[in-house]
Chain A
Amino acid sequence: MNFNRPERSHMSVDKATVARIAHLARIGVAEEQLRPLAAELSGILQWIEQLNEVDTDAVAPMASVHDEALRWRKDVVDDGGKQAEIIANAPDGVNGFFAVPKVIE
């Protein structure tokens, strides 16, 4: 078996794209990090693109590794009532609420 490493070095991901997905993922990225990240992600994506060699026209995507149906739970209240535990690890918890910087809708 032979793992083709991408030889082309064209960037499939540019700076603007990195900025856009970083914002979607809510990860702050400094301006000077955008270019190196774009290069890195482009490299990985080019390597991944070898999947295009595989003919999958007649293949259904895999939903789960086992062919099973979802199991159902009874409609019973057997949880909750633990405000203290729910809030215990919160960086900012006030009067039973979680608190975050104010949001303007």
Chain B
Amino acid sequence: MAELTELGISEARDLLAKGALSSRELTESHISAMAESSALNAMVTETPEIALAMADASDERRAKGGSGALEGIPLAIKDLFCTKGVLTTAGSHILDGFRPPYESTVTANLWQAGAVMLGKTNMDEFAMGSSNETSYYGAVQNPWRRHGDNRALVPGGSSGGSATAVSGRFAMGATATDTGGSIRQPASFTGTVGCKPTYGRCSRWGVVAFASSLDQAGPITRSVRDNAIMLGAMAGYDPKDATSANVALPDFEAALTGDARGLKIGVPKEYVLDGMPGEIEALWQRGIGWLRAAGAEIIDISLPHTKYALPTYYIVAPAEASSNLARYDGVRFGLRMPGDDLTEMYENTRAAGFGPEVRRRVLIGTYVLSAGYYDAYYLKAQKVRRLIAQDFRDVFASVDAILTPSTPSAAFAFGDKADDPIAMYLNDVFTVPANLAGLPGISLPAGLSDDGLPLGLQVLAPAFDEETMFRVAGLLEEAAAFNEAPTQWWRSR
């Protein structure tokens, strides 16, 4: 047998079912791979004891004939999900020492399905970032490096730790969250598959909020099939989240029919960027070719308000964040910095507890909601947001899914964009519209850049039609036959 850490979820599932493998063996191999991967800084907290106890419990359940959809599968959890009794930081100093007395619905669903927790993954602070450079716990390194170039690269963000744990073969899958691209962009940068489902598909209960109307949890895995399996276990209606959708949960894995007949795929002209690297354009054209060859019909579409998606996002998300992050005040949990009075205590705590990017966004959000600016910024953005959502509604009347590149570039080096917020924000140009419209989107690796880095294609689908999204992604995955992996240069044995 190959190294156990090379197995995908679906392969491991079959071996576990046959009794050829125990969850303990599988979990142990991932625990040691995780321990040997500390150079990547992908984990804030490793929980090997919990993992082994969960693995043993899983093996016991299986012995008694019970097994869930992810029975015995070791996963990493983004540190934005509250995990009962286990340090939860959101990548921020302000949640210093916070051990939630509760478990998020999504992770509870995973444990209910038999999954095993390896630990909590590093991330951009409060999920604000596209490079993982904003984490209080230090940046995560991308497992990939350019050919003939030893410079460390960013893994993308904010779910950079999750993407790295999966790409680096020390978690079979990882939970992640996506507010403006935080699943799909790091998936694209690390050669993994990352899906943001429809807003309302996964419960937000127990997930540290960044921007409530945009945040959505989803899985990062190494294959589309694994992704479908894992999303099925994470998702579902939750009465504790008023924005959770009370809709049927389909069998996503069954949607991978491999059949392209009758599919109409939209290709939006607005996703051609000035100055976009030629290799991104080429990759996109290859994707179009693959789908056409498989029998899908390709249709040119227009999403005229795409250009305004990023500025809209950079009003809506900071506005919501400025309010969501008000609870980090040093009173009930986390960091407290002393002050002579209550106001000073707040100001000292929040100045010390939040990093520069979080401070920047909280200030922007406070500004756009403040008296005299609300109409010009926030209200305006919510109107443009409706136009962006309407664009999608219009085109989905005539196409089943949309194909775009996931990101305008491959992974970049540390510090490349850290000093220019807007350049950093442009990373999410292809991913943000789906968040604003609440639509499902998936990024899958479809090729390598000229200097050997993974590049992703994105499939967008109508709300609550993840089945079509997975079906198209499955076709692309099959055609791309991407089976590159990073050399495991970081492993210390």
B13 interfacial by beta-carbon distance below 8 Å = no
How far does the alpha carbon of A66 sit from the alpha carbon of B380 in the complex, in Å? 19
When chains A and B are docked, how far (Å) is the Cα of A66 from the Cα of B243?
A: 9
Inter-chain contact A22/B363, CB cutoff 8 Å: yes
What residue of chain A has the Cβ atom nearest to residue B101's Cβ? A85
Interface size on A, residues (CB 8 A): 56
Measured in the bound complex, the distance between the Cα atoms of B246 and A93 in whole Å is 39
CB nearest to B318 among chain A residues:
A44
Interface of B is mostly: helix
Main secondary structure of the interface of A (DSSP, over half): loop
Given contacts A1-B274, A28-B348, contact A101 B339 (CB under 8 A): yes
Tell whether, in the assembled complex, residue B380 and residue A2 are in contact, meaning their CB atoms are under 8 Å apart.
no
Contact A54 B384 (CB under 8 A): yes
Point out the residues of chain A lying under 8 angstroms from B336, CB to CB: 91-92
A17 to chain B, nearest CB (A): 8
**Contact (Cβ within 8 A) A45 B364:** yes
CA distance A15 to B344 in the complex (A): 20
Residue contact B350 to A28, C-beta cutoff 8 Å: yes
Q: Which residues from 53 to 103 on chain A have a C-beta closer than 8 Å to any C-beta of chain B?
A: 53-54, 56, 59-66, 68, 70-71, 73, 82, 85-86, 88-92, 98, 100-103
What separation, in Å, do the CA atoms of A61 and B239 have in the docked complex? 26
Contact of B366 among A24, A50, A59, A65 (CB under 8 A): A24
Q: Does B99 contact A (CB under 8 A)?
A: yes
Q: Are B342 and A103 in contact (CB under 8 A)?
A: yes
The answer to whether residues A1 and B272 also contact, given A56-B383, A62-B389, A66-B463 and a CB cut-off of 8 A, is yes
In this complex, the member of A61, A63, A70, A73 whose beta carbon has the largest number of chain B beta carbons within 10 angstroms is A61
Measured between beta carbons, the chain A residues less than 8 angstroms from B362 are: 25, 27
Whether B398 sits at the interface, judged by CB under 8 Å, is no
Binary contact readout B426-437 vs A (1 if CB under 8 angstroms, 0 otherwise): 100100000001
Stretch at the interface among B143-151, B249-257, B307-315: B307-315
CB-nearest residue of chain A to B359: A27
- A1-B271, A1-B307, A37-B363 known; A100 and B345 CB under 8 Å? yes
Which of B167-175, B222-230, B259-267, B324-332 binds A? Answer: B324-332
Q: B329, A48: Cβ atoms under 8 Å? A: no
Asked whether A41 lies within 8 Å of B386 as measured between CB atoms, the reply is no
Q: Which of B200, B312, B340 contacts A51 (CB 8 A)?
A: B312
Is B308 within 8 A of A54, CB to CB? yes
A43 to B420, CA, bound (A): 10
Q: How far is the CB of A87 from chain B (nearest CB, A)?
A: 8
List B contacts of A51 (CB < 8 A). Answer: 308, 311-312, 315, 380-381, 384
A87–B141 Cα distance when bound, in Å, is 37
Cβ of B385 under 8 Å from chain A: yes
Contact A101 B364 (CB under 8 A): no
A8 CB within 8 Å of chain B: no
Q: Which of chain B's residues have a CB closer than 8 A to the CB of A37?
A: 360, 363
Partner of B274, one of A2, A22, A44, A62: A2
| Bound CA–CA A97/B347 (angstroms) | 22
Q: Does A5 contact B (CB under 8 A)?
A: yes
Cβ contact within 8 Å between B421 and A44: yes
Q: A18-B363, A66-B463, A103-B342 are in contact. Are A90 and B332 (CB under 8 A)?
A: yes
Q: Which residues of B contact A61 (CB under 8 A)?
A: 379, 382-383, 385-386
- Is the C-beta of B293 less than 8 angstroms from some C-beta in chain A? no
Q: Do A89 and B311 contact each other (CB < 8 Å), given the known contacts A1-B274, A25-B362?
A: no
Return chain A residues, CB-CB under 8 Å to B354. Answer: 27
Contact, CB under 8 Å: A62 / B382:
yes
Q: What's the Cα separation between A66 and B341 when bound, in Å?
A: 43
B361's closest neighbor in chain A, by CB?
A44
Which B residues lie within 8 Å of A92 (CB)?
Answer: 336
Q: What 0/1 pattern do residues 353 to 385 of B give for CB contact below 8 A with A?
A: 010000110111011001000000101111111
**Minimal beta-carbon separation of B233 from chain A (angstroms):** 23
Alpha-carbon gap, A49 to B384, bound state (A): 12
Distance to closest chain B CB from A45 (angstroms): 7
Mask of A14-34 contacts with B, CB within 8 angstroms, 1/0: 000110011111111100000
* A-B pairs with lowest CB-CB distance, top 4: A65-B438, A61-B382, A89-B333, A28-B347
Query: Can you list 30 A-B contacts with CB-CB less than 8 angstroms, sorted by A residue number?
Result: A1-B306, A1-B307, A2-B307, A22-B363, A24-B370, A25-B322, A25-B363, A25-B366, A26-B350, A27-B363, A28-B344, A37-B363, A43-B422, A47-B311, A51-B311, A51-B380, A52-B380, A54-B384, A60-B386, A62-B389, A65-B389, A65-B438, A65-B463, A66-B438, A71-B239, A89-B99, A89-B332, A89-B333, A101-B340, A101-B341
Give A contacts to B, CB under 8 Å.
1-3, 5, 13, 17-18, 21-29, 37, 40-41, 43-45, 47-54, 56, 59-66, 68, 70-71, 73, 82, 85-86, 88-92, 98, 100-103
Question: Apart from A24-B370, A27-B362, A65-B213, what are 6 other A-B pairs with CB-CB below 8 Å?
Answer: A21-B366, A25-B366, A26-B350, A44-B421, A65-B199, A66-B243
